[in-house]
Amino acid sequence: MTTLHYLKLERDGAIATVFLHRPKQLNALNMALMDELVATLEELDNDDAIRAIVLTGDQRAFAAGADIMEMADADSTEMLRRDQFAKWDRIRKLKKPLIAAVSGFALGGGCELMMHCDMVIASETAQFGQPEIKIGVMPGAGGTQRLTRTVGKARAMEMVLTGKFIGAKQAEAWGLVNRVVPVEVYLTEAQKLAHEIAQMSPVAVRLAKEAVLKNYESFLLDGLEFERKNFYLLFSTEDQKEGMQAFIEKRPAKFTGK
Ligand code: CO8
């Protein structure tokens, strides 16, 4: 079993709940957390006793994105060398149902991680956004592709180009989440849904999930490749360095187009 520093894991019969656990950084997804997450999800995926998985954070944040401190100084070559997206592809390939329970911030890579899940139960306090543009980059883990497919071009464009957040009711109306419930029950509602699915034939569930994803993911892979290349390219710009440094120094960024 993977040793957990940035996650917590609970099992309850046929379901497992994985908690992102870097509360002081709003569960920002650093590389070590992503390593643990992928290893843990794959272990659960291969465990015959587990039939559905819930992924959650805490009440303040599901996850506020990839860890900006880890990316701030990287250039395109370094980002390419890190090959972070190989891990995200492994999450995409999980066979068991993955349900996100979201409260607070689901931003940038956090929103993208949520969109890797098969279903989403949101608390009334949840906020969703792709704010990468404010730090001089763009979504890299599928945001431009999955968000567009789910909410439509005009809405995705506004979110991606302004970085503005949307609230839980808006996300529900746009089909980004299955439903919105009070903050006291968002996690138990997600776990209830996981238990319900865990009672079905696991082989039927696996093949049904695969078939839904066949539709959802048609044309997705080319788009993901395209997005990744553009994301890497932005790490050759001064605006990326300025945007991320401004975040770290807690000041507004000044972009020059270089
Ligand atoms: N990375 C690192 N640290 C973070 C992040 C982050 N994404 N988000 C928050 N933190 C830290 C803050 O630096 C702060 O630390 P400290 O207390 O040491 O100063 C702590 O968490 C609490 O944050 P704030 O003080 O800022 O809390 P506020 O309530 O004032 O604001 C916000 C909350 C609005 C969520 C604000 O923290 C924020 O804007 N965060 C950044 C959101 C963002 O830009 N996310 C996108 C990141 S880029 C990305 O996700 C690209 C993904 C591509 C794929 C990755 C594969 C390589």
pLDDT digits (tens, 9 = 90+) for 91-124: 999 999 999 999 999 999 999 999 999 999 999 9
State the CB neighbour count (10 A cutoff) for residue 40.
19
- Cα–Cα distance between 189 and 257 in angstroms, integer? 46
pLDDT recorded at residue 53: 99
**How does pLDDT run across 227-243, given as a tens digit for each residue?**
999 999 999 999 999 99
3-state SS, residue 167: strand
Dist. CA 25 → ligand 1 center (Å): 7
**Active-site residue, 66 included:** yes
3-state secondary structure of 73: coil
- Closest protein CA for atom 27 of ligand 1: 26
Q: How far apart are CA 44 and CA 116, in angstroms?
A: 16
Give residue limits of the domains in the chain: 7-203
Which residue minimizes the CA distance to atom 35 of ligand 1?
A: 64
Query: Would you state the structure tokens that stand for residue 257, as one six-digit string?
Result: 């187009």
Name the active-site residue from 36, 132, 172, 189.
132
pLDDT < 50 positions in the chain: none
In testing the pocket of ligand 1, which one of 25, 145, 233 has its CB within 8 Å of the most ligand atoms? 25
Tokens 């809405």 belong to residue: 155
CA atoms of 84 and 212, how far apart (whole Å):
26
HSE (CB half, 13 Å, CA atoms) of 39?
14
- Please tell me the distance from the alpha carbon of residue 144 to that of residue 153, in angstroms, as a whole number: 9
Measured between alpha carbons, how far is residue 3 from residues 11, 35, 90, 258 in Å?
A: 16, 11, 19, 42
Report how far ligand 1's centroid is from the alpha carbon of 163 (Å).
13
Nearest to 170 by CA among 150, 186, 149, 146: 150
Question: What pLDDT shows up at residue 122?
Answer: 98
| Superfamily per CATH, domain 7-203 | 2-enoyl-CoA Hydratase; Chain A, domain 1 (3.90.226.10)
Q: What is the pLDDT of residue 1?
A: 84
How far is the centre of ligand 1, averaged over its atoms, from the C-alpha of 57 (Å)? 14
